[in-house]
Amino acid sequence: MSKLRNFVDQIRKNPNAIFFSRLTFYFLLGLWALNGDPFKLGSATDQASERTYDRVSAPFYSSYREIDGFSDDILVVLINDTSVDNLYNQQFITANDWPLTYNDHALLISKLIQAKPKAIFVDIMFYRERSTDNSLDEAIEWLGFELSKTGQNTKLLFAQGPAVSPMSENMKNKLRAIGELSINSWQAPENTYELMQNDIPVTATKLFQIACQNNAHYPGCRDVTDSSQYSEPMRVTWGSRSAPSVLPYRADNCRLPPQSFSEQLGAMTSQLYDGFLGKESYQNDVCSFTRHVYAEELIALSRSENPDEIRLYKELIEDKIILYATDFQGFKDSVITPVHGEVPGVFMHAMALDNLLSQGAEYRRAIEPGSLNMAIWTVWVILLCIFVRLYPNKMPLILALGLWATYSTIVIGILHFGAGVALSNWISLLMLSGLTLRMAYLDLTEFFLSKIQSLVTTADESPKKI
């Protein structure tokens, strides 16, 4: 016991030993809290950090379409139960329920091709030829004919699922006769978008490359040819400045998110408050960021005799990127967004494409947080220990708060806006830094060392039994 007492006494008398004791203790505390995931609190905090940051930053997302001279070049075309009912009742399609026949899909897609878009991505999986529908060959021939009339200027992409696709070889070959297969699903954390799979561009990346070939003036097209710039997954940035309603009568069907700076500031404060209370602040009635229209509405415009509606039909599709998908209740193809709640999965492809067209290779990276978090934590621990050594009696409260505020600004500001990094557990980092700051302010390291020395001394001085 006397050796331990002497060792503790030497540490307390040696400023360098005290410095490294603090450094080691705070570093190990951060290592345990950030990487150990005690009681699953770390992973829960990571997810809460990501969602909170995404909601708060959404009003400040800047899209290419807000630049003078640029139009909104992304359109989602959806099919739902109402679409099927209306199109069947109008005798436009032959199926009165899902799934549609291959010819029904061909008819709808041909209407899009006729308006000459840059590309059409069909976000509907055709795994194998159905035994109950013999119209596949006719549908393929029909679409090929429509594409030939455009001079093959419209690119047609079909969803293939994951990189190792469950699609039959026969179906792959038939779809490749008129278009390309596109990877559109993978295993990844929430709101993470893989841009490349085995060096093959996925859906948003392919559409981005097509858009830049046709119009290299998008802000993000500067580095489009350098595929190495897109090897890291994207943390999708969702915007909240919704696109105007495509059709006037649908303008009142959803609620516009905050538009002015004062409204955005108020929304940010409200979202931070909701996040602090553990409430989800998004609502499903918020107007979507990406323009969308339902299939029956688009067909009605194409068949209209009103010149304004015909002009609108062409403006919506001509030279645009079209994403053709479904919106059926009960389908698993949906994503949870930080702004709009649950939406069809196709909107994630559309939002990732908007990020690429707007930011190019400067998109926000979704990286594994472990090593980066520990590097940030190590910087904090070193700074804290240096300041405590400079003020051995007690660090001034204003200086302590200023140190923490500066660190918080660096963590959230520089990493996101400077490095383009999505830091997953900034809440944990800020809470831990605040906790250790309080510990340093109370000089708990010295307190514990003195307690250890006192206990050892008491044990040495206690009478021994014979």
> Hey, which of 156-160, 231-235, 256-260, 288-292 has the most confident mean pLDDT?
156-160
Q: How do strand 292-294 and strand 74-79 relate by DSSP bridges?
A: parallel
Both tokens of residue 25? Answer: 């203790």
Percent of the chain with pLDDT strictly greater than 70: 76
Q: Quick: pLDDT tens for 410-429.
A: 776 666 555 555 555 666 67
- Across the chain, mean pLDDT equals 82
Nearest to 391, CA basis, from 441, 334, 346: 441
Q: What is the per-residue pLDDT for 111?
A: 95
In a domain, 50, yes or no: no
The answer on pLDDT for 37 being more than 70 is: no
What is the domain range of residue 395? Answer: 2-36+368-461
Q: How many CA atoms within 13 Å lie on the side-chain side of 388? A: 26
Q: Among 327, 362, 397, which residue terminates a domain?
A: 362
Q: Among 346, 362, 378, which residue terminates a domain?
A: 362
Q: What is the per-residue pLDDT for 294?
A: 95
Nearest to 17, CA basis, from 445, 384, 387: 445
- Residue 224 and residue 87 in one domain: yes
The answer on pLDDT for 58 being more than 90 is: no
- Identify the residue with better confidence: 239 or 208: 208
- Residue 100 and residue 213 in one domain: yes
- If you ran DSSP here, which 8-state letter would residue 167 be given? S
Q: Alpha-carbon distance 425 to 412, whole Å?
A: 10
Q: Quick: pLDDT tens for 320-365.
A: 999 999 999 877 788 888 888 789 999 999 999 999 999 999 998 8
**The overall pTM is greater than 0.85:** no
In a domain, 225, yes or no: yes
Q: What is the per-residue pLDDT for 388?
A: 81
In a domain, 466, yes or no: no
- Residue 268 and residue 406 in one domain: no
Q: Alpha-carbon distance 21 to 445, whole Å?
A: 8
Question: Are 158 and 126 contacting, i.e. CB atoms less than 8 angstroms apart?
Answer: yes
Q: What is the per-residue pLDDT for 461?
A: 59
The mean-pLDDT minimum among 90-104, 125-139, 428-442 falls in 428-442
The residue-averaged pLDDT of 98-118 equals 96
Alpha-carbon dihedral 213, 219, 220, 223, rounded to 10 degrees: 70
Q: Among 362, 382, 414, which residue terminates a domain?
A: 362
The answer on pLDDT for 250 being more than 80 is: no
Reported confidence tier of residue 23, pLDDT bands at 50, 70, 90: confident
Reported confidence tier of residue 161, pLDDT bands at 50, 70, 90: very high
Q: How many domains does the chain have?
A: 2
- Identify the residue with better confidence: 341 or 213: 213
- Identify the residue with better confidence: 435 or 354: 354
Nearest to 33, CA basis, from 407, 382, 302, 433: 433
The answer on pLDDT for 264 being more than 80 is: no
The answer on pLDDT for 158 being more than 70 is: yes
Q: Quick: pLDDT tens for 65-88.
A: 998 888 899 999 999 999 999 999
- Residue 26 and residue 93 in one domain: no
As a whole number of angstroms, the longest Cα–Cα distance in the chain is 111
- Residue 206 and residue 289 in one domain: yes
Q: Which residues of 366-401 are buried (b: 16+ CB within 10 A; e: fewer)?
A: bbebeeebeebbeebbeebbebbeeeeeebeeeebe
- Identify the residue with better confidence: 235 or 32: 235
